[in-house]
Structure 1
Amino acid sequence: MNAPVLLAISSTEFLIGITLLSIIAFIFGIPIYLVFGIWALGYHVGFDSFPLINMSQNHYGVLQSFSFTAIPLFILVGDLIREAGIAKNLVEFTRELIGWIPGVTGNTAVGTAGIFSAITGSNAATTASVGTALYEPLCEEGYENDYAAATIASGGVLGAIIPPSILLIIYGAAFGVSIVDLFIAGVIPGLGMLFVLLGVNTVIAYRNDYGVTEDFGIDYQQLLVKTWHAKVGLGTIVLLLGGIFLGLFTPSESAAVAVVYILVAAIGSRQITSIDSIVRACYSSILLIGIILPMVVTSILIQQSLSDLGLQEAISNAIISLGHPVLIILVMTVIMLLAGSVLDATPNLLLTAPILAGAAASLGWSPVAWGIIFMMGASIGFITPPYGLNLYIISGIADIDYIKVAKAAKWHWAGLVTVWLGVMIWYTVVGGG
């Protein structure tokens, strides 16, 4: 290891110093991307592994990737959907489709989360939208407040897996993996997570008499009516996923087409009636992209520094040395759950995924398979304390203590972990290609 260039102290002491400084900055509420930036700047100044100019070159090189243009466009799609008031129509469509299953509004919330995930690609946007639309109806239907909030938070997890996922776009762009292949690979695991959440809610609702209905079956006439009313939102899904999977558009082009479609359809149907709504949607998207992209570039700088220290290789080799696939999977599962519970999704993805990539490869998992497996674990972190972003979002909307929501989500959490482990076993036994 190279000695610090500017300080007459050992490399270990210098590294501990900048790490402690970063931890203190985090404790005092400095935004995480600035905390990462402080650490990366300290490493570049104190060690001669990278010239300082690497920081600006890294920023330029990362953001030059065409794939990253999809992120602001997908965010804008979600914001336009919100401004157009399309959420209500999607909720009514979902209720008509699966609302006859015991646990009426709970299953509607989970199903609506699945649909929103296929539009916004964001767990946070999905949780906020579904929570705003369905938390009060859940309580009115007899659901306990904390369980209602937990169901919505758990449904929001789907936004990280069901394509088009913004996090899968970041993974593909950062590590040179086909985003289309990631989207295709995410379909079945995403649906598996959706169905297990529906199953968990149905069982709990039936046992506790939450929204149990005696009207079994679908009213197809009403379903057609609700489908027509939800045509803008459903049409967006068809454009986004159909265009990508049929090879008509790249993810970026598909998102751009979807933005144009929503604008034309929502204005034509008078769901957007003023330029102010469009401006608000664009403004919200700009604010969010201003958080995500600095996080991406600073996380990659941290990743490069950790690689230079040999930390990634050391951890990966230590895990591989366990020898047996079951032990390797067990240790990787614990690390992914711990990382997902304390880190925001983007830095977790860009820092932890490369550290465990060597161990994943030893199990025969391809980069695509590893991307899906890692993101499933990271998404479960959204309902895992102490961080649990979805838990914070819904606790704010519902004005419920965060810990109460986390406790109420335990069975949803267990169901999602079961699906996740099943996917890992499948890729290990059948093949990770």
Structure 2
Amino acid sequence: MHRVVVTGLGIKSPAGNSPAEAFATVLAGKSAAAHLPALLEAGVPVTFGCQVPDFDPDVYFPKHRRRHLDRPTQLGIAAATDALADAGTPDAGRPAGPGTAGSGTAGSGTAGSGTVRCGTYVGTGGANIGLTADFGALPHDKLPVATVPMIMPNTTAARISIRHGLQGPCLTFSCACASGSIAIGEAAMAIRYGRIDRALAGGVDSMLNPFAIASFARISALSRRNDAPQEASRPFDRDRDGFVMAEGAAFLVLEREDLALMRGARIYGEVTGFATGADASHIVQPLEDGSVAARTMLAALADARLRPEDIGHVNAHATATTYNDRAEARAISACFPAGSPPVTATKGVTGHLLGAGGAVEAVFALLCADAGLVPPTANFTGGPDADAIDVVHAAPREIERLPVVSNSFGFGGHDATLVLSPR
């Protein structure tokens, strides 16, 4: 089996458009939520969200290409492109030189034959749902010729693969809010067991459109704090009333450790454990006791060959919904019976990025573990559901450089846990 290291990071999030910028924002603990003109104009019940600021598509796409790429696809391609560049593999689609383990990819072949097999693993909860809703309102004879390739759920993965010539597996995972974590975990498993040598893995979602906002509002999933958007995302807090919708994308370049060392790559950390499970209970509510989530966390620790006491902190899924946060707090307590490690919930800053959330939080988790800092949970003032866990708030907390658990739980009962370790 191969060890799996992270050699590149790319992020487009409400906290910022680079890993350094986004990390500084979550350490500051200030919410990115704000009113959005499109939601105000549409008159939907919730008029705010967390948008990616200052994203310039001209940096990544010529204008004639952009008309066939909707917002989530643009964000996903941009984050993936940044991750490859950060890893020092901008030519990832070209064969490596003879006898080298360079940055090429191929659907077949091995590192020893001069090619590196690179896969594309993308998680998304809503895919191109906003575009589908817009197109559905058009007369049939006014639909764009490119409608089908624009609304396919696998569009972002396919576009990334085509842009960078990644001829290994090109897979899309749709597991609601656990999608990004599952994409990363499955990519790591493929590398670990020798099916591929490198992967571009992460998640993307952008559903800050009236259709999606109104739909989530109908099931009372969203905070209704239209009078105070920046106070709306309140993970684990006694006064939480729902999550804040957000958009974004994040990708990690995962690589066989020996190949990364051979080419002198910078290594951010290692994917040491992964597990996933299903509550098999309710379509939108987690099991109240958090038992499956706890088992998933313990399975990920076992996969990493670590004990609960080896963990430095937990990046919680913590959406700021009543049932999710309560179940996760119980799961963390069950997983760490001797006492909770420090817990952070970065959705207090970024809002809920849905299928992209696990990937964005994996970036934060790696940077936190490396820096020995745990970000504060924005808007947390306390509450009975959090009494049994150690929620970091008010200011960042210094910790030892230790492995981190990153949780992602989604509608449908999807549970996923990654264990990420600093180098």
Question: Per the shorter chain, which TM-score range?
Answer: under 0.3
The structure having more radius of gyration, on CA atoms, is 1
Q: TM-score, normalised by structure 1?
A: 0.27
Normalising by structure 2, we get a TM-score of 0.27
Please state which structure has a larger fraction of its residues in helix. 1
